[in-house]
Structure 1
Amino acid sequence: MPVLILLLLLPGFLLGVSAVLTQRAIRPRCFPYLKTYQIEVQNGKLNEADYWSWEKQEVRLTSPFGYTLSATYFPLAGARRTVVLVHGITYTRLGCIKYLPLFRRRGYNVLIYDQRYHGLSGGGNCTFGFYERHDLRAVLDWALAQLPPGGRVGTMGESLGAAVCLQHAAIDPRPAFVIADCPFADLNELLALRLRRDVGLPAFPFLPLASLLARLQAGFWFGQVFPLRAVPGLEMPVLLVHGQQDDYIPPQHSQRLYTAKRRGLRRLYLAPNAGHAESYWNNRAAYEAVLEQFLREAGLG
């Protein structure tokens, strides 16, 4: 009798745990916008004097899915090139501020925006690039419209933002370049790793059940988010960056993406002494040198 009861209770238990996992994935707890401002200032990554001295324009864009995307545009007089910076999961556009000087020194306008479900933007959930790639296409529309004829726009993302940039480039050939800092190659693989390390659970049967619930609640299967599948068709220059000590998204993800990039310019920088999203801050001079060389080789330096 106890065995029978356990068998009867098992489906409910599996479904309940999977439901919790789904919510943690598609509706993670995000940092409030003002909190990220405070964090970046405290960590020395946002210099308030510089930030408030830069010319800027607050922009509200409309996603193809109807919600608002909140953005900030930093124009540079005479610039004919723009880079769109895309932040990581649970954070906001202010996490990208640290990269602004790199591009302003090279004559770029910079556009940063909050991804769906993050910061001051709308959107009811996070889909790891499934819908976000289409949002980025709308952001690129706006960025290109601000430039004179012949202007170019590149994209750069960090973590989730890096995966979004790669997936976007597969459906939109317009980016002049893509810089992907600590992206994941395969969402299912990453979630299985996090499930094992963070919760101590096996991928099966929880991950397939959570994916089914994500399909019902957010309209996508985890298996549909697969940057590695997008990369072989990319022709624009791509720079992949990853911290050698990244234990959240292992550097092997970027190495596999680099190998899969078969057309056009590709470069890979594995940053020493760097965990997740630490490659630039822990190696600023080397990172800038890699960026400079990449943009020069791409004819956009």
Structure 2
Amino acid sequence: MIKIRSKGGRKILIGVLALLLSATLLAFVWIGNQFYDGGTILNKGEETIDNSKKHLKQMGFDQEAFLEKYSGKSFTTASSFHDHDISGTWLQPDHTKKRPTVIMVHGLGGDHTTVFPIATLFLEKGYNVVAYDQRNSGHNTASRNGFMHLESDDLADIVAMVQKENAEQPVVLWGTSYGGGTVAIGLGKHNLRNSVSGVVLDCPLSSMTYMIRLFIADMHLDERSEAFMMGIGSWMTKIRMGIGYNELEVVDYVQEAELPVLIFSSKNDDVTPPFMAEDIYQALPEGKKTLITVEDSKHIQIFDDHPELYIKSVEQLLSEIEQ
């Protein structure tokens, strides 16, 4: 055992220990911030606009003609939860706003215009469509993504906006991939299950912690180191966002959603594997829920590969809502 006999020696030891403690704390903060940044800066708004234009062009989709046909009107509304603006497009099959509305929530990597091709399905059924940009996408001015949790705040604002315009008219939520997770979390976090009439989830993301673990897996860490990294990331997310990783599981937000819910999934989806849709389906109350699983489609390609099945399934949901 080393004995420190002088006061000067003790001061030096205390100083060294303080430096080591500070260095360790700084290392924890740095690692935590890396995880936080990695999970909340998933794309850039300008890039998502370009990505969407390229995507629609590759599809041969005439956005200008679409907006003209369905009286597309841009809107911007302030978030009531955070300090940013939410933008999007209000579409109508005619010039009547007072009709049922489908709110469409896009996935990562694009903006709200990516949902326009599927929006045609609802517009042709006589529904208005409101498509908006999620956080850090398109013209939404939030600079970070929010693990679908903060995104559900924007969704709650859009639902309130639509219901103010269309009092007593049904509202249906449609979300794809990351947007599907946004919708599902909103059902519980903001009690949207009590204010909307039905939900469509297209290849929904059910677990951000699963995605974070995939990111960590690339580091090839042992089990203990992986758990340590998850703990640090969750700690920093709790500090900066107010929620930890244990609060990011979609299934925890749908257990009381007693409304018609239609879920699409594919066994060939390697982005949101079919267990994600199955987990959400199992977490929903018995009764008004339907899970459609196909064998072959890639991520969010079910509408393109199986249009008849997709349209028929959506029509059944809408019929149930309209009864």
Shorter-chain TM range is: 0.7 to 0.9
In the TM superposition, 1:102-113 aligns within 5 A as: 102-113=121-132
**AA in 2 matched with 1:227:** V
Give 1:82's aligned residue. 101
- 2:207 maps to 1:186: yes
Q: Report the Cα offset of residue 10 of structure 1.
A: 8.5
Give 1:38's aligned residue. 53
- 2:254 maps to 1:228: no
Give 2:8's aligned residue. none
Structure 2: where are the runs of 5+ without partners? 1-19
- 2:79 maps to 1:63: yes
Give 2:161's aligned residue. 142
Give 1:166's aligned residue. 184
- Which shows bigger deviation, 270-279 or 102-111? 270-279
Aligned alpha-carbon RMSD (Å)? 2.4
Q: Report the Cα offset of residue 146 of structure 1.
A: 2.2
Give 1:294's aligned residue. 317
Q: What is the distance in 1 between the residues matched to 2:29 and 2:302?
A: 38
> CA, structure 1 residues 181+92, in 2 after alignment: closer, same or farther (shift >3 Å)?
same
| Contact 1:86 1:112 (8 Å CA) reproduced | yes
Of 186, 195, 211, the match for 2:216: 195
Secondary structure (helix, strand or coil) at the match of 1:66 reads coil
> CA, structure 1 residues 122+268, in 2 after alignment: closer, same or farther (shift >3 Å)?
same
**AA in 2 matched with 1:20:** Q
* Structure of greater Rg: 2
Percent identity between the two aligned chains: 20
| Contact 2:111 2:134 (8 Å CA) reproduced | yes
Number of positions where the alignment pairs a residue of Structure 1 with one of Structure 2: 292
Kindly provide the CA deviation profile for residues 225-265 of structure 1, in whole angstroms up to 9, marking residues without a partner as x. 22101111001111111122111221101111111111441
Kindly provide the CA deviation profile for residues 12-58 of structure 1, in whole angstroms up to 9, marking residues without a partner as x. 77765553332111112235253034222222163233234330111
- 2:176 maps to 1:176: no
Instruction: Provide TM-score, normalisation by structure 1.
Output: 0.87
- Which shows bigger deviation, 27-36 or 203-212? 27-36
| Contact 2:263 2:277 (8 Å CA) reproduced | yes
Greater percentage in helix: 2
Give 1:127's aligned residue. 146
| Contact 2:112 2:132 (8 Å CA) reproduced | yes
| Contact 2:174 2:183 (8 Å CA) reproduced | yes
Give 1:29's aligned residue. 43
| Contact 1:272 1:283 (8 Å CA) reproduced | no
Kindly provide the CA deviation profile for residues 269-294 of structure 1, in whole angstroms up to 9, marking residues without a partner as x. 11332222222222222211221122
Structure 1: where are the runs of 5+ without partners? 1-6
Q: Report the Cα offset of residue 267 of structure 1.
A: 0.4
Q: What is the distance in 1 between the residues matched to 2:60 and 2:130?
A: 17
Secondary structure (helix, strand or coil) at the match of 2:115 reads helix
Q: What is the distance in 2 between the residues matched to 1:221 and 1:123?
A: 20
Instruction: Provide TM-score, normalisation by structure 2.
Output: 0.82
Q: What is the distance in 2 between the residues matched to 1:223 and 1:282?
A: 35
Secondary structure (helix, strand or coil) at the match of 2:49 reads helix
**AA in 1 matched with 2:275:** Q
